[in-house]
């Protein structure tokens, strides 16, 4: 059994630049990953039967459920008939603009790819996800990202971590209803360069249309503005405001509950932004790593062997390609100083991402202590192991 958090996102801005010939809209948006979401549990059996079991159907027919469709897409792509059981402890509101359904689909693609040992690379998973929904590639990528097109063009970004109070009034906003509204085109934005688009923080071209149709969203935005620049995520109904500290966000949440609990139905939570998806982190932590020392296979000793300065010691670390080079570098970089390494580079080969860490040679034999703990399953992610 593999248990993992399927995260949500907010749009730090959402600019609509026009309608496409295929009926979709071109967007320029900044997607921010949040450390909050649904809890998903997976079991995969390579039994050749190809059965898909959804414990929580969420009231949908299987062919309408993105989780079901994600598993089926992997079966068709790989040509393998493995069976999958998925359960979802639903936390995120449906129709909230937080990408919950898309995140569930992306989490399914990533986890089933890992558990079924399909060895499909991340870019291919994103392409498969794009056929399921516009936001799915973002969640497969697993990073904050600047997004263009209908959501398939991603530019991963590092963002300062902040705390957010996210409030969802008790109304369901249909994305289709908003994007098919005749008045939406009046609020389209001009196409901007990346630099200019990044200056549009907290703008949302859908806000005026949603306010007219759903007064609850307008009331939420008007209340949150007392704490800072309030904004709407996606097509709503969720709205948010950013804080520098957890304490400030929790205080605002406490005030909100005191004022609104009796008169206004809503859901609210406080969470932080995260630069790497918890799904990516869980898959990294549950992987059993192989270490090769030069061309000679090695076990995991507590210390590196001594080496002479004439021949720098090179460690070849092989990782699954379900994550990108950038994700692996971010995962390794906090630990790289402990290795005293001088170079870090990666190469795509044979379905893996290989990082080469070259240690500097010194006069006489030297030894380096290697932090092997990050190659092993983390005690803090026991629930995320297969």
Where in the sequence numbering do the catalytic residues fall? 9, 135
Of 22, 327, 306, nearest to 154 by C-alpha is: 327
Tokens of 194: 């990346």
- Contact at 8 Å (CB) between 74 and 139? no
CA distances from 265 to 134, 181, 228, 261 (A): 29, 26, 22, 7
Tokens of 274: 């995260």
Instruction: Compute the half-sphere exposure of residue 149: CA atoms within 13 Å on the CB side of its CA.
Output: 13
**What count of other Cβ atoms lies within 10 Å of the Cβ of residue 150?**
18
CA distance 59 to 382: 31
- Contact at 8 Å (CB) between 180 and 256? no
CA distance 112 to 279: 12
Residue showing tokens 């800072």: 228
Question: Among positive and negative, which fits the CA dihedral 296, 300, 301, 305?
Answer: positive
DSSP 136-161: HHHHHHTB-EEEEETTTEEEE-----
DSSP 311-374: S--EEEEEEETTS-HHHHHHHHTTTHHHHT-SEEEEEEETTEEEEEEEPPP-SS-B--B--GGG
Residue showing tokens 């026009």: 18
Tokens of 313: 């010691």
Give me the phi and psi of 375, to 5 degrees please.
-90, -10
The torsion defined by the Cα of 95, 170, 145 and 4, in degrees rounded to 10, comes to -80
- Contact at 8 Å (CB) between 141 and 169? no
């Amino acid at each position: 059994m593999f248990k993992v958090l399927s995260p949500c996102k907010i749009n730090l801005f959402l600019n609509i630049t026009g309608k496409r010939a295929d009926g979709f809209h071109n967007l320029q948006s900044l997607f921010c990953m949040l450390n909050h979401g649904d809890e998903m549990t997976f079991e995969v059996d390579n039994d050749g039967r190809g059965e898909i079991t959804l414990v929580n159907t969420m009231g949908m027919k299987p062919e309408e459920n993105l989780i079901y469709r994600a598993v089926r897409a992997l079966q068709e792509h790989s040509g393998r008939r493995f069976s999958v059981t998925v359960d979802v402890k639903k936390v995120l509101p449906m129709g909230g603009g937080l990408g919950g359904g898309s995140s569930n689909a992306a989490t399914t693609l990533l986890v089933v790819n890992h558990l079924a040992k399909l060895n499909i690379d991340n870019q291919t998973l994103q392409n498969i996800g794009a056929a399921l929904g516009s936001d799915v590639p973002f969640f497969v990528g697993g990073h904050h990202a600047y997004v263009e097109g209908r959501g398939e063009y991603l530019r991963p970004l590092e963002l300062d971590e902040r705390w957010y109070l996210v409030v969802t009034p008790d109304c369901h906003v249909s994305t289709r209803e908003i994007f098919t509204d005749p008045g939406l085109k009046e609020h389209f934005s001009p196409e901007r360069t990346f630099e200019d688009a990044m200056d549009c923080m907290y703008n949302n071209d859908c806000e005026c249309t949603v306010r007219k149709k759903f007064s609850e969203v307008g009331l939420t935005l008007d209340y949150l503005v007392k704490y800072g620049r309030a904004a709407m995520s996606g097509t709503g109904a969720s709205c948010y405001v950013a804080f520098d500290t957890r304490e400030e966000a929790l205080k605002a949440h406490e005030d909100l509950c005191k004022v609104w609990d009796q008169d206004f139905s809503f859901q609210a939570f406080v969470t932080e932004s995260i630069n790497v998806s918890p799904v990516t982190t869980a898959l990294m932590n549950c992987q059993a790593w192989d270490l090769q020392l030069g061309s000679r296979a090695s076990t995991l000793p507590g210390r590196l062997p001594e080496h002479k300065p004439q021949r720098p010691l090179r460690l070849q670390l092989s990782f699954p390609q379900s994550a990108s080079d950038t994700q692996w570098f971010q995962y390794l970089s906090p630990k790289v100083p402990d290795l005293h390494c001088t170079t870090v580079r990666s190469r795509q080969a044979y379905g893996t991402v290989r990082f080469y860490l070259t240690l500097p040679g010194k006069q006489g034999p030297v030894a380096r202590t290697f932090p092997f703990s990050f190659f092993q399953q983390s005690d803090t992610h026991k629930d995320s192991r297969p």
